[in-house]
């Protein structure tokens, strides 16, 4: 079920009303209230997830049960060695499932091509379950954190299933840790009106970024990428820039909708994006882009390898490992590995000069406008990100190379003229500028519409629904095609 669909627009209010007015209010005196409410979350989440294909439910249920069981076995283990064994068995099981569904055909095809062997009868050709990479990593974090003693294993299987399958963030994150999300299912939630209102604003902001920014950008991007050999260099550059905003509007838009939806149910999810295109170097960019995945690799791969506490050579090694693994996590294609390697290479100068932690605050802190130096840094970082997204978007390494070569050739300025004169592109360009302005002004907030209800003209509780309706109408009028979210394929 897509967030930007009529089905979800019907599904969400029904689940919301049942969640608070049936499983919270009407059975509030029952000792089973919390468990029944969590059971309802699981049922709603399975309906949401099974909307794509009911067979996916068997896999997520199996993953959930095995991870829950491994947590109990780790917690009851008499020795550290036994606990470690149970942890690794769960890791191998989950990664094995992920490898079969996501990478088996890729490796078989590459091996067959290398040795000129036929793949007849060797490929599984299975459907990739939506969001399998996300909930697998969430399940892994639980068993690892139980082993590390950061959280106690839970006997409450219903709460655990709710933790793994919670529908707002199930298929595209944020990738939550058990230390944050699971305890929220183990205690009674209370409805908070101000939090719910903020959640609605964040949902609207996410829908704006997805439907108005990403979906409109995709029309131009898809057209240019499908005919890139026929386009001028400037047109290729413009399409790359549009894809840069498309993938940001698409993925951060999903995260905003997910986080805002969770707020409606009294659940707090971690922030997944923090205005990454205002970063001053590539290290800051990665502290602000897909934060839940970046911190996951930091805590479960980078730090166990020694992190930054080892020699410079090993720090470089560790950096390349997490970027290559992160790239491959995105999909079974050499382009993703090349994309990861590209960003690892960009990290090298920062690591060698010890400046990879230079920028940890917001740009232009306490000021309306950035300095000329900061503007230059942001433009350079943005351009480097654009080059990386070309590799990410390409279907093969060869296509990425041809696209980059074509873009670097001197192109006619007519492409820019067409960009600013065609109505569709001009409108999309305006929407992108509006998004950037709002995010710049709100860069110290959690999302673009945070606090907007405190503006004088929106304080009236009767006027607020009208403003909601106007925003929804604008999104429906100017929103592009109802496209699937890009990160669903991962």
User: Active-site positions?
Assistant: 330
Residues 6+ away with beta carbon under 8 Å from 432: 213, 217, 245
Pairwise CA distance, residues 334 & 392, whole Å? 10
The residue with tokens 């029904």 is 14
Residue 6: partners with Cβ closer than 8 Å, 6 or more residues away: none
Rounded Cα gap, residues 217 and 174, in angstroms: 23
What distance in Å separates the CA atoms of residue 396 and residue 382, rounded to the nearest whole number? 23
> Long-range contacts of range 399-407, CB-CB < 8 Å, 24 or more positions apart?
399/228, 400/335, 400/338, 402/228, 402/229, 403/225, 403/228, 403/236, 403/240, 406/228, 406/229, 406/231, 406/233, 406/236, 407/233, 407/236, 407/237, 407/240
Q: What angle do CA 243, 249, 250 make, to 5 degrees?
A: 85
- Give the number of other Cβ atoms within 10 Å of residue 365's Cβ: 8
């Amino acid at each position: 079920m897509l967030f930007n669909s009529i089905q979800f627009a019907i599904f969400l209010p029904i689940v919301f009303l049942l969640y608070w007015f049936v499983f919270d209010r009407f059975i509030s005196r029952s000792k089973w209230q919390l468990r029944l409410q969590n059971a309802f979350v699981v049922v709603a989440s399975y309906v949401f997830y099974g909307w794509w294909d009911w067979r996916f439910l068997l896999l997520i249920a199996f993953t959930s049960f095995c991870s829950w069981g491994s947590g109990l076995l780790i917690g009851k283990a008499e020795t550290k060695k036994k606990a470690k064994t149970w942890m690794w068995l769960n890791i191998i099981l989950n990664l094995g499932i992920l490898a079969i569904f996501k990478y088996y055909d890729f490796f078989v095809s590459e091996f067959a091509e290398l040795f000129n062997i036929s793949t007849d009868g060797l490929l599984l050709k299975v459907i990739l379950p939506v969001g399998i990479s996300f909930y697998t990593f969430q399940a892994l974090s639980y068993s690892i954190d139980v082993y590390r003693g950061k959280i106690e294993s839970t006997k409450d299987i219903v709460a655990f299933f709710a933790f793994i399958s919670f529908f707002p963030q199930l298929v595209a994150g944020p990738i939550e840790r058990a230390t944050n999300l699971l305890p929220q299912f183990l205690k009674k939630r209370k409805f908070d009106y101000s939090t719910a209102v903020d959640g609605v604003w964040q949902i609207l902001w996410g829908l704006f970024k997805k439907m108005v920014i990403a979906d409109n950008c995709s029309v131009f991007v898809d057209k240019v990428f499908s005919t890139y050999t026929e386009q001028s260099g400037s047109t290729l550059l413009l399409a790359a820039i549009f894809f840069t905003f498309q993938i940001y509007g698409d993925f951060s838009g999903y995260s905003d909708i997910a986080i805002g939806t969770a707020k409606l149910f009294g659940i707090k999810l971690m922030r997944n994006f923090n205005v990454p295109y205002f970063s001053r170097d590539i290290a800051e960019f990665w502290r602000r882009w897909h934060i839940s995945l970046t911190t996951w690799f930091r805590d479960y791969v980078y730090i166990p390898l020694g992190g930054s506490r080892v020699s410079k050579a090993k720090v470089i090694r560790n950096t390349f490992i997490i970027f290559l693994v992160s790239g491959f996590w995105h999909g079974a294609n050499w382009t993703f590995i090349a994309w990861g390697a590209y960003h690892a290479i960009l990290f090298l100068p920062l690591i060698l000069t010890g400046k990879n932690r230079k920028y940890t605050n917001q740009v232009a802190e306490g000021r309306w406008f950035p300095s000329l130096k900061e503007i230059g840094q942001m433009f350079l970082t943005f351009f480097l990100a654009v080059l990386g997204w070309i590799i990410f978007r390409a279907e093969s390494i060869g296509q990425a190379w041809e696209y980059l070569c074509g873009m670097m050739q001197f192109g006619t300025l007519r492409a820019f003229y067409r960009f600013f004169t065609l109505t569709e592109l001009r409108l999309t360009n305006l929407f992108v500028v509006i998004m950037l302005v709002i995010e710049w002004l709100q860069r110290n907030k959690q999302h673009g519409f945070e606090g907007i209800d405190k503006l004088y003209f929106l304080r009236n509780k009767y006027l607020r629904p009208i403003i909601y309706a106007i925003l929804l109408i604008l999104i429906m009028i100017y929103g592009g095609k109802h496209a699937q979210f890009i990160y669903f394929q991962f």
